[in-house]
Amino acid sequence: MYETENKIIPARLHVLLSQKSTQAIVIRRGPSKRTATIGWDRRNDVFTVGQWFKGKLYPYRSDISPDGAFWIYFAMSEKNKTWTAVAKPPYLKALDFYPKGCAWNGGGLFSTVRSYWLNDGGATLHKRERFISGLTVLPQWNDEPNWHSECPLVYFYRLARDGWIQQKTERTGKYGCITWFYKNANKHGQLWKLFHGGIDHPIGKSPYYESHALHIYKDKSMIELPDMEWADVDGNRIVWAENGLIMSGNLSKQGLVNQKILFDTNPLVFTELTAPY
């Protein structure tokens, strides 16, 4: 945790779950412009700190390959230099490197185990400085034409690919909106994800952030879980990030049970680490 304006703020977390393996990447931010990547093997819930860097990652424009062997991320250094890179989880050392120069677009998504799409309509592709991953770069996202976007639409494509169903979008004030998604958890209910976007956001949150809720089938209730900043269904359990912690639990007809802390990222401090490749 760190302190700003006399308020203690826990580390901010987002997680990329590999869909066909037990691998995942935890993106930890805090304090401002200090970011760490952490590997998570969900088979045994072992966590491995990858690397730190002075800057920020854009988790909603990042992705991990279905087999967990590669990931793609968009980053901005503390000197405001930006780039898209493909690396081996949970490290940042680039195999494929695409410098940019602004925070528009950037990042991408994996379409298959060995192919990825760049979020830049081809512009970034022509500026590529390094390409040693051996992966295929796609000119468009699946059957969709080239398009340019920041966080929401890139993330929405990832959510849809990974089994989330988009339900509705509602306006919040003059500049904001909330988009609702849900995923079936088990026979007891669903996990709901509310994606918030707008210039007015709480302290410690970015202009884009999430909240979550549970829909219980038995009594048709909706249990709000506002402290969850990321959550997903992982097999027969629900996993989530809350106050700098990675947590797990099971959904029952009463709500979340068997809750436990899997990893506390708050004690981590900036450390110079070298990728092993």
Q: What average pLDDT score do residues 160-177 get?
A: 90
End-to-end CA distance of the chain: 31
> The sheet that has 189-197: what strands, in order across it?
165-172, 176-186, 189-197, 208-216, 221-225
> If you average pLDDT over residues 118-147, what whole number do you get?
80
Q: Residue 270: which of 42, 7, 24, 51 has the closest Cα?
A: 51
Task: Identify the pLDDT of residue 32.
Answer: 79
pTM tops 0.95:
no
Alpha carbon 233 to its chain's center: 14
Cβ–Cβ contacts within 10 Å for residue 86, how many?
Answer: 25
What single-letter DSSP state applies at residue 160?
Answer: H
Q: What is the CA 53 to chain-centroid distance, rounded?
A: 17
pLDDT band at residue 199 using 50, 70 and 90 as cut-offs: low
Question: CA-CA distance, 155 to 149, in Å (whole number)?
Answer: 10
The residue type at 182: Y
Q: Is residue 113 predicted with pLDDT exceeding 80?
A: yes
How deeply is 43 buried, as exposed, middle or buried, from its count of CB atoms within 10 A (0-12, 13-18, 19+)? exposed
pLDDT for 41:
98
Percent share of the chain, pLDDT over 70:
91
Q: How far apart, in whole angstroms, are the C-alpha atoms of residue 277 and residue 89?
A: 11
pLDDT at position 129 over 50? yes
User: Percentage of residues in the chain with pLDDT exceeding 90?
Assistant: 75
Q: How many residues does the chain have?
A: 277
User: How does DSSP classify residue 121?
Assistant: T
| Per-residue confidence (pLDDT) for residue 201, from 0 to 100 | 63
Residue 143 or 84, more confident: 84
- Identify the three-state secondary structure at position 155: helix
pLDDT 10s digits, 77-105: 998 999 999 999 999 999 999 999 888 88
- Nearest alpha-carbon partner for 39 in 263, 271, 225: 263
- The whole-number pLDDT of residue 4 equals 47
What average pLDDT does the chain have?
91
Across residues 182-197, what is the average pLDDT? 96
pLDDT at 212 over 70: yes
pLDDT at 43 over 80: yes
Q: Does the structure show a pLDDT above 70 at 48? A: yes
pLDDT(256) > 70: yes
